Chain A
Amino acid sequence: MSVTNKPEAALQMFDEGAVTHACWSCGDMRAAHFCQSCGKLQPALPTDYFTFFGLPRKLNVDVAALENEFYKLSRKLHPDLYARAAGQERQWSLEKSSQLNDAYRTLRDPIARTGYLLKIEGVQLEEQSKAATDKARQTGEEKKQVIPPELLEEVFELNMQLEEARINKKMGERDPELLREMEGTRNDLQAKHDALMDELHGYWNEWDALPEDADESLRKPVRDKMVGLLNRRSYIRNLVRDVNEVLEA
Chain B
Amino acid sequence: MAYSDKVLDHYTNPRNVGSMDKNSQAVGTGLVGAPECGDVMKLQIQVNPQTKVIEDAKFKTFGCGSAIASSSLATEWVKGKTVDEALSIKNTDIVRELSLPPVKIHCSVLAEDAIRAAIGDWKKKNGVAAQAEAHAPMAKAGD
Interface residues of B in 115-130 (CB under 8 A from A): 116-117, 120, 130
The docked-state distance in angstroms from the alpha carbon of A222 to that of B37 is 22
* Contact A136 B116, CB 8 Å, known A126-B106, A129-B36, A129-B109: yes
User: B91 an interface residue at 8 Å Cβ cutoff?
Assistant: yes
Is A156 interfacial (CB-CB < 8 Å)?
A: yes
Report Cα–Cα, A139/B36, bound state, in Å. Answer: 24
Within 8 A of B (CB), among A189-242: 217, 230-232, 234-238
The residue in A139, A230, A234 that gathers the most chain B C-beta atoms within 10 A of its C-beta is A234
A141 at the interface (CB under 8 A from B): yes
B35–A146 CB distance below 8 A: yes
Could you tell me the distance between the alpha carbons of A213 and B113 in the complex, rounded to whole angstroms?
39
Segment of A5-13, A39-47, A86-94, A147-155 in the binding face: A147-155
- A238 B31 Cβ-Cβ under 8 A: no
Query: Which residues of B1-43 are within 8 A (CB) of A?
Result: 31-40, 42
Are A141 and B131 in contact, with the CB atoms below 8 A?
Answer: yes
Q: Does B79 contact A (CB under 8 A)?
A: no
The size bracket of the interface on A is 20 to 34
Contact A238 B38 (CB under 8 A): yes
Partner of B131, one of A140, A145, A156, A232: A140
CB contact between A231 and one of B31, B35, B62, B143 (< 8 Å): that residue: B35
Which residues of A sit under 8 angstroms from B116, Cβ to Cβ?
133, 136-137, 142-143
Partner of B109, one of A133, A146, A238: A133
Interface magnitude class on chain B:
20 to 34
B81 located at the interface, meaning its Cβ lies under 8 Å from any Cβ of chain A in the complex:
no
A120 CB, nearest partner CB in chain B, Å: 18
Q: Is B62 in contact with A145, judged by CB distance below 8 angstroms?
A: no
The reply to whether the CB of A84 lies closer than 8 angstroms to some CB of chain B is no
CB <8 Å contact, A235 and B33: yes
Q: Once the chains bind, are A235 and B38 in contact (CB under 8 Å)? A: yes
Q: A125 near B: Cβ within 8 Å?
A: yes
Which of A142, A145, A237 has a CB less than 8 Å from the CB of B38? A237
From B130, which residue of chain A is reached at the shortest CB distance? Answer: A140
A142, B31: Cβ atoms closer than 8 Å: no
Given contacts A129-B106, A230-B35, contact A142 B117 (CB under 8 A): yes
- Complex: chain B residue closest to A231, CB-CB: B35
A236, closest chain B residue (CB): B38
Bound-complex Cα distance A236 to B35 (A): 11
Quick check: B38 and A153 within 8 Å, CB to CB?
no
How distant is the Cα of A137 from the Cα of B51 in the complex, in angstroms? 23
Is A130 an interface residue when CB atoms closer than 8 A count as contact?
Answer: yes
**Chain B CB within 8 A of A159 CB:** yes
From known contacts A133-B113, A156-B62, infer whether A145 and B36 are also in contact, taking CB-CB under 8 Å. no
- Nearest to A217 among chain B residues (CB) is B143
Given contacts A130-B105, A137-B90, A145-B33, contact A234 B38 (CB under 8 A): yes
Q: Which B58-93 residues sit within 8 Å CB-CB of chain A?
A: 60, 62, 87, 90-91
- Whether the pair B40, A156 counts as a contact (CB closer than 8 A) is yes
- In angstroms, Cα B106 to Cα A129, docked, is 8
For the complex formed, measure the closest distance between the CB of A238 and the CB atoms of chain B, giving whole angstroms. Answer: 4
User: CA A139 – CA B131 in complex, angstroms?
Assistant: 8
On chain A, the residues within 8 Å of B91 by CB distance are 130, 133
| Across the A-B interface, the 3 shortest Cβ-Cβ residue pairs | A234-B38, A231-B35, A238-B38
CB pairs A–B below 8 angstroms (26 shown): A125-B35, A126-B36, A126-B105, A129-B36, A130-B109, A133-B91, A133-B109, A133-B112, A140-B130, A141-B130, A142-B116, A145-B113, A146-B33, A149-B31, A152-B40, A155-B33, A156-B31, A156-B62, A160-B60, A163-B62, A230-B35, A231-B35, A234-B36, A234-B37, A235-B33, A235-B35
